[in-house]
Structure formats: C-alpha cells, structure tokens
Amino acid sequence: MAVRENSSPSCLYDAVVVGAGIQGSFTAYHLAKRGQKTLLLEQFPLPHTRGSSHGQSRIIRSAYPQDYYVAMMKRAYQLWAELEAEAGTPLQRPTPMLVLGRQQNPEFQSYWQTMQRLDIPHETFTPQALAQKYPEIRPHGGEMAVADLTAGVLYPDKALKAVQEQFRRSGGTVRDGEKVLAILPGSAVTITTNRGEYRAKRLVVTAGPWSSRLLDPLGVQLPLQPLRIHVYYWRAKDSGTRSHVEHLPCFLGINLNQDAHHIYGLPTDEYPGLVKICYHHGSPVEPDRPDQLDRASTVPDLQILQGFVRNYLPGLDPEPAVQEHCLYTNTPDEDFILDRHPRFNNIVIGAGFSGHGFKFAPVVGEILCQLSLGEEPPYNLAHFRISRFPASPKAAL
C-alpha cells in the first residue's frame, strides 16, 4: 500500500475528519479557520446521495422542547448567516413552522412553553385562527398550533457545496472517493484508506450511518441505528389550487388525532407545485444496502401519511407524486453524540443525528472542532455524552 504524504514531519496533518456529510464538512471548516492543517476524507465521489445530507430542503427552526437545543440553535443561526455572507448566496428561505397538536399534549406543551420562556418569536393559533390563516389544514378535536417565526427551509446541496468551498479557501484539503478502512490510535493517529495512509494529531469521525463500522474496532460500541426514510412529495388534487400548496408553512404534527406519529411537511422549490410530507421514522437498514428492507421491521409510512393527507390536507391527492429516500442514524433517545473517545482524547465523535441534525451543523462543527482542540464548548453537552448509554463490552484493541 502506498504511504501518502506522511513520510516527513511536515506532512503530518493537524486534523483529519472522516466523512464529508454536513457535520464533517462544518467540522473541517472550523478546524481550517482555526489554522489547523486539515484533511477531509469522503468514501464516495462528491456530491453523492447515499448518506443523510443530500437534497434540496431541510427545516431550520429554533423551536425545540429542550432548552439545550434552543441554545445551540442561537449560535447555529449566526454561523449559517456567516457562511451565507462568505459564499455570497442564500442558503435558506424564511418560512414559519407550525407545531400542531392538542393543547393538553405534554410534548406540544413543551414546545409552546419553551418558545414562551426563551423568547422565541412565535404566534399562537386557536383552532379558529388556524382555520382562517391556513384553510388548507383541517385540524381535529380542538388541535391548535404555535408557529415558530424564526423557522425556514434550508438548501442542503447548496449548503454542503458552500461549506466545502470555504473549507478549501481556508487551506483545507478534501479527498473524495477515498474510504477510511482502519484507524490506529496514538499521539499521532494513523488512518489507512483504500488509497494510502495518513497521520494526524487529532481525528474526528463524522461517518453518519457508517459510524459504527469505524468505531466498533476502536472499542466504542454505540447504539446507532441507520434507518431508511422515504421522502414523499404530494400535489394538489385540483391543479387550480396549486397556490394553496405553495402557501403552506412548514409544520410538525405532534400525535395528531391522538396517534403516536410525528409527521412533518414543508413547501419546497425542488418540485414546484408539490409539498414534501414525511413520516419521522423509518425502517432499519444496512447503509450499503438501502434497498434491502427486512419486511418484519418495515414501518407502514405510506399508509400513515396517506391517512394524514386525507384527514388533514384534503386538498392534496393522497397518492404521492414523487418518492425519494434518505438515511437517518438514530440513537435510542434521538439526542446526538458529540464527545471524545472514552480512551483516546484526540479522537472525537459526532454521530447519531437522528433525523434532525442538519440545522445544527454549523454549531455541531464548531463543538467538534473545540473538543478536538482540547477546549470545552460553552454548551451543556451532558445529553450528548457517550456515557449516557449503558456500558457495552469493549472490543479488544
């Protein structure tokens, strides 16, 4: 195997980041801005559609039931604006997001109370006010809404391109089509790829659905579950009502009709006249074989969504017009993993973004950069620690 660029001390990298999805790309961007000689490795030729960060729309919002996410979003909005200024292009479009639910529902209450307590600009809609403002939406049984007025639609493909470009401008190197096969810990970490070998003072692993492949041999078994998520786009029944589709806000339905489901939607630019509505859960899958689903554990997402469309958005055709897919990597509590390796503190892990990580990527990248530089990020990271999971037997090293 060829040894690349590590035959002299000057070719030792300050940092190597594995995985050029949105989290790894922002981590590399911050490291390079901090003057670190940084290499970003990606297994597939870029851009690609095989992980979690591709596509043309994601929701950005401040509204979360948990204060710690709201605090991180404050910083994320600042950093998104910085990247937009550097790139000279908008990376999001402001669009309010309705949290829909029953007033008595504890999760709905948490969203609402957090918005009030933390002064997130918001507007509350009684069922009557909701019907007036958004007649396309038909809530049931007294369901109401609170709108996060800071929300919007992010443009993921553009964002990924912009952050990687700015990383390169800061002196960083991206090598795509280069898969990391092995990691050997040490004061300088040795990284073996299908093309060669590198050494780095610090390593950040942001490998999305493939994270366990790299981390298990390093003795950290994380409860990460890759899920296949179907992305559905729906059209108005009557083409004359197309403007109704475009008028819809982003929305997040909490246990609507007293079902256990979370369903979300957003107006998008990628298919003019269609609205994207998805089920926030998917079927377990191997990331290299996303088409092989185990029937026994496949979630009936389409039936659930069709029921929702018929009941809540009767102006839409209940047959989806377009179907795509993407991968989530879930933790059991759906909180992220942002931590140092328990034994090797120059190896940092960012994983388990559980289908809601895109909006946080600028601040996640900053946190992973700070952790890898031995700094303590100014957030409560207790919810993101590896130690929150029950200990599992360690692999031999």
Ligand X SMILES: Cc1cc2nc3c(=O)[nH]c(=O)nc-3n(C[C@H](O)[C@H](O)[C@H](O)COP(=O)(O)OP(=O)(O)OC[C@H]3O[C@@H](n4cnc5c(N)ncnc54)[C@H](O)[C@@H]3O)c2cc1C
Ligand Y SMILES: O=C(O)[C@@H]1CCCC=N1
State the residues that interact with ligand Y by CB under 6 A.
Answer: 59, 61, 252, 264, 280, 355-356
Nearer to ligand X, 21 or 320 (CB): 21
Between CA 284 and CA 282 the distance in angstroms is: 7
Which run of H or E residues covers position 201? strand 197-205
Nearer to ligand Y, 206 or 354 (CB): 354
- Work out what residue 131 binds among ligand X, ligand Y, none; the CB cut-off runs from 5 to 8 Å by kind: none
Which run of H or E residues covers position 234? strand 225-235
Between CA 120 and CA 114 the distance in angstroms is: 8
Query: How wide is the angle at C-alpha 150 spanned by C-alphas 144 and 153, nearest 5°?
Result: 95
Nearest residue to ligand X, by Cβ distance, number only:
21
Least gap, CB of 356 to ligand Y (angstroms): 3
Q: What is the three-class DSSP state of 203?
A: strand
For tokens 């998805």, the residue is: 278
Least gap, CB of 350 to ligand X (angstroms): 7
Between CA 234 and CA 271 the distance in angstroms is: 10
The DSSP code for 185 is -
- Work out what residue 254 binds among ligand X, ligand Y, none; the CB cut-off runs from 5 to 8 Å by kind: none
**Can you give the binding site for ligand X, defined by CB under 6 A?**
18-24, 41-44, 51-53, 58-59, 179-180, 206-210, 214, 229, 231, 278, 326-328, 353, 355-359
Nearer to ligand X, 138 or 213 (CB): 213
Least gap, CB of 58 to ligand X (angstroms): 4
Sign, Cα dihedral of 10, 162, 183, 187: positive
Which run of H or E residues covers position 235? strand 225-235
Nearer to ligand X, 167 or 210 (CB): 210
Number of Cβ within 10 Å of residue 108's Cβ equals: 23
Nearer to ligand X, 112 or 336 (CB): 336
- Work out what residue 145 binds among ligand X, ligand Y, none; the CB cut-off runs from 5 to 8 Å by kind: none
Least gap, CB of 48 to ligand X (angstroms): 6
Least gap, CB of 54 to ligand X (angstroms): 7
- Work out what residue 252 binds among ligand Y, ligand X, none; the CB cut-off runs from 5 to 8 Å by kind: ligand Y
- Work out what residue 151 binds among ligand X, ligand Y, none; the CB cut-off runs from 5 to 8 Å by kind: none
Measured in degrees and rounded to the nearest 5, phi and psi for residue 151 equal -75, 170
Nearer to ligand X, 44 or 389 (CB): 44
Minimal CA–CA distance to 206: which of 180, 175, 227? 180
- Work out what residue 24 binds among ligand Y, ligand X, none; the CB cut-off runs from 5 to 8 Å by kind: ligand X
